[in-house]
């Protein structure tokens, strides 16, 4: 049974032609994007907009238009920014517009959580010593963790950042890699470098790396170490073994914080090897000081097609599990 149709009129203040043009986009592209994603009809005359459609979608459209109009005061809207606001449109989970949230100031500006899961993730990182962020690609797990690490370093809450990854090839054999040890492991750690460059800029990130304030290392280098006053991020943790995960978690020292990120659908370990991330999630779920945040396709903040691709793979995995259970 379809939901009842609804129609509202929204007046945006203050009336500013430049901001209104920014809101609507070139040839009203932003409004058409809202209509397509929310399933509503939007018409505007000056600063007055009418929205028609199903009741919950209309209310979501009202919230998104208000939020986007506030954004026009400080930045130029793009389809990507409109899509990010749609992630938290309220169709999946109601949110208060006045809700307090953590904002991280970096070189690229303020970074806030997009949607309820990202906001909870940031809150838990702030309050817990060990944090797991698990979910598909494009949900901001690593990016937000690096942002928190940079913020902690610049506010002197930690003395250094340690970024760690297991050196596991993604389903292909690369063979011999030329260069010294740092050059050999660099391809595996490139996503972490990229996030740092975006937060700090290339020159500052390079200076901090030269002084070992920022250390990027393969997981194997963690054995035997104790990390005090450090913000430690283990990325691609689904490719750790049980022994490696235990080794990593027991490196954490006083004044340190750890974030472990991974995607359980992209395990590149041999079929007979248990993922350390999968085991740790089960073992540590009730441990005080340990948080676990699980993302899904609704949290993807990349191009909308990435969300649809993730959903297609999720459906395929569910079907595979159903067939396995039937056998």
| pTM, full prediction | 0.64
Residue 306 maps to which CATH number? 3.40.50.300
* Same-domain pairing of 73 and 135: no
Structural domain of 284: 103-321
* Same-domain pairing of 241 and 310: yes
* Same-domain pairing of 269 and 316: yes
* Residue 95 placed within a domain: no
* Same-domain pairing of 61 and 159: no
* Same-domain pairing of 131 and 158: yes
Tens digit of each residue's pLDDT (9 = 90 or more) over 79-131 = 878 877 776 655 544 443 434 467 787 666 678 787 788 889 999 999 999 99
Tens digit of each residue's pLDDT (9 = 90 or more) over 275-326 = 999 999 999 988 999 999 999 877 776 666 766 787 787 778 778 767 777 7
Tens digit of each residue's pLDDT (9 = 90 or more) over 134-170 = 998 888 898 999 999 998 998 888 999 999 988 765 4
Give the list of residues 6+ apart from residue 145 with CB closer than 8 angstroms, or none: 125, 131, 133, 233, 235, 259, 261
- Report how many domains make up the chain: 2
- 51 is written with which tokens? 């929205």
pLDDT at 89: 55
* Same-domain pairing of 226 and 308: yes
Which one of 54, 87, 120 terminates a domain? Answer: 87
Which one of 61, 87, 113 terminates a domain? Answer: 87
* Residue 96 placed within a domain: no
* Residue 326 placed within a domain: no
* Residue 284 placed within a domain: yes
Does 270 have pLDDT greater than 80? yes
pLDDT at 188: 67
């Amino acid at each position: 049974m379809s939901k009842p149709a609804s129609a509202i009129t929204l007046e945006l203040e203050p009336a500013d032609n430049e901001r209104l043009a920014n809101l609507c986009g070139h040839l009203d592209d932003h409004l058409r994007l809202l209509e397509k994603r929310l399933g509503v009809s939007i018409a505007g005359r000056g600063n007055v907009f009418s929205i028609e459609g199903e009741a919950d979608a209309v209310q979501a459209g009202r919230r998104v238009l208000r939020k986007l109009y506030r954004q026009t005061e400080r930045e130029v809207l793009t389809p990507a920014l409109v899509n990010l606001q749609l992630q938290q449109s309220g169709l999946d989970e109601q949110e208060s517009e006045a809700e307090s949230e953590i904002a991280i100031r970096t070189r690229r500006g303020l970074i806030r959580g997009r949607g309820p899961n990202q906001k909870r993730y940031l809150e838990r990182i702030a309050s817990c010593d060990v944090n797991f962020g698990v979910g598909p690609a494009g949900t901001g797990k690593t990016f937000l963790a690096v942002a928190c690490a940079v913020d902690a370093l610049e506010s002197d809450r930690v003395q250094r950042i340690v970024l760690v990854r297991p050196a596991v090839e993604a389903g292909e054999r690369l063979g011999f890699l030329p260069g010294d040890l740092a050059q050999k492991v660099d391809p595996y750690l490139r996503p972490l470098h990229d996030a740092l460059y975006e937060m700090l800029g290339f020159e500052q990130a390079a200076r901090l790396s030269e002084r070992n304030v920022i250390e990027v290392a393969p997981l194997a280098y963690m054995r035997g170490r104790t990390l005090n006053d450090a913000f430690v991020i283990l990325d691609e943790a689904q490719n750790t073994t049980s022994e490696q995960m235990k080794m990593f978690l027991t490196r954490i020292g006083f004044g340190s914080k750890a974030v472990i990120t991974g995607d359980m659908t992209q395990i590149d370990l041999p079929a007979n090897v248990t993922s350390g991330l999968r085991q740790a999630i089960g073992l540590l779920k009730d441990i005080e000081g340990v948080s676990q945040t699980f993302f899904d396709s609704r949290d993807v903040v990349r191009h909308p097609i990435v969300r649809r691709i993730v959903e297609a793979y999720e459906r395929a995995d569910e079907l595979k599990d159903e067939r396995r259970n039937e056998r």
